[in-house]
Amino acid sequence: MTKLALITGASRGLGFALAEALAPEYHIVAVARTVGGLEDLDDRIKAKGGEATLAPMDITNRDAMAHLCRSIHDRWGAVALWAHTAVHAAPLTPVHHMDPKDWQKSLSTNVDAMGHMIPFIAPLLGAAGQALFFDDPHGGEKFYGHYGTTKAAQIALVRSWQAETAKIGPQVHVLEPAPLATANRARFHPGEDRSGLATPQAEAERLLGALSLR
């Protein structure tokens, strides 16, 4: 039976690299809003002899995620691995200057979407599956009001799920990647010397290797 890896946030950065690294051992279901990025990923996966199913959608769309998860159940029955990297990274700004639209989008993407994704995907993972989440601790730091607050809330929810499933599964992992040379980091740290930053590809291999998924 084909093992399935569901990657939410697969069109760029760490999600793209994880999806590419997991193929062809896994059939990749790649979820993201950016169609061009998903098509590039599909090309990379096919070049390795793997297969992908592209799902261009917004994770905040509850109905779309419900339809996707039902389709996965009907076609494959289960998900062996879920890696969640989708995030809204609003511009750094003082708290008293936060844009209401950016605040709402941060809440919707980084927190609210978890309220339907975990209930939808947990039954697909069952007791044997694994879920990967990626911490980026900036809560309480100056100018990180949007991102730091909502990312911290997301990880707090995940850690509750992790504690609840520790003995019964699925295995829930909270990982902390090294600083990555991504577009989001470039926005947060313009002018930074990027020579010392890890590439998403190298970090994907390292994280998957640490979990014996490579």
| Structure confidence by residue, pLDDT tens digits, 82-103 | 999 999 999 999 999 999 999 9
- In the CATH scheme, what is the homologous superfamily, with its name and number, of domain 4-206? NAD(P)-binding Rossmann-like Domain (3.40.50.720)
* Domain residue limits, the chain: 4-206
Mean pLDDT of 62-88: 97
Share above pLDDT 90 across residues of the chain, in percent, rounded to a whole number = 87
- This prediction has a pTM of 0.95
- 81-84 β-sheet, strand order: 52-56, 27-32, 4-8, 81-84, 130-134, 171-175
Q: What is the Cα–Cα distance from 13 to 97, expressed in whole angstroms?
A: 28
The pLDDT of residue 139 is 92
